[in-house]
Amino acid sequence: MSDIVRLTDSKLKEFIMEVERLSGQKVSQCYQCGKCSAGCPMAFAMDIDPARIMRLIQIGQREDVLRSRTIWICAACQTCTTRCPQEVEIAHVMDVLRSMALKAGYTETEREIAEALSQFVENIERRGRIFEPELAMRVNIALGRPFKDFGKGIRLFMRGKLPMLPEKVRGLKELKNIWETVRKLELSEGERYESEGTKHN
């Protein structure tokens, strides 16, 4: 991040507008009370505490935010959300930042977490629930270590702790329809929020 940040730069405003549009949260209302950071149980492991993340969004520091470890370390425990006096759902903002980082390819800081998250969602969407052997295999292959958990997997299978075949899920077609509906709702909500923001500007 440069030493001087010109808040009048329209390019810097684009980042907070995008985050607010995707999350539906008024990040601009954060006044840096620090309650989110003070209550965060994972703050000790973060490179940038939650309050600073919010401020960096406000001043348009896209790369500093999306390349941070913090967005991947966040446990989504909702402590920050419940403590925020402005009722900003910070945990949801973190979800959005992770999604943005994935799309932008900013996953080098915590690549293992990023890959696991991506594969986790894909597994649920495709099968309706998690199939642990496939999830572990896909993550390890993506990270270039296909045999990392092979021995552990065999031992768990021999003890009857790991299934060989995925469990069939009822209503998989209906579940896929739910995913599609959620995507459409997110898109329409984003468009509505962007329209409202344009009116106020």
Residue 133 belongs to some domain of the structure: no
AA identity, residue 37: S
Residue 84 lies in a domain: yes
* Distances 70 to 55, 62, 83, 167, 201 between C-alpha atoms, Å: 14, 14, 18, 34, 31
pLDDT at 113: 79
For position 62, which CATH number holds?
Answer: 1.10.1060.10
- Give the number of domains in the chain: 1
With a CB cutoff of 8 Å and minimum separation 6, the contacts of 180 are none
Q: Exposed, middle or buried: residue 61 (CB in 10 Å: 0-12, 13-18, 19+)?
A: buried
Range of the domain at 69: 1-105
| 23 located within any domain | yes
Whether residue 67 contacts residue 97, with contact meaning beta carbons closer than 8 Å, is answered with no
CA 89/CA 156 separation, integer angstroms: 39
Smallest Cα–Cα separation from 76: which of 52, 60, 105, 96? 96
Nearest to 46 by CA among 97, 100, 102: 97
Residue 185: both structure tokens together: 């709702």
Tell me, what's the pLDDT at 53?
96
- The pLDDT value recorded for residue 119 is 84
Residues of the chain with pLDDT under 50: 1, 200
Is residue 67 included in any domain, yes or no? yes
| The two three-digit tokens of residue 195, written as one number | 């329209």
Contact between 37 and 52 under an 8 Å Cβ cutoff? The reply is yes
Residue 3's pLDDT is what? 60
In-domain check, residue 191:
no
Tell me whether residue 68 is in a domain.
yes
Closest residue by Cα to residue 16 from 4, 7, 28, 6: 28
Tell me, yes or no, if the pTM score tops 0.85. no
Whether residue 74 lies inside any domain: the answer is yes
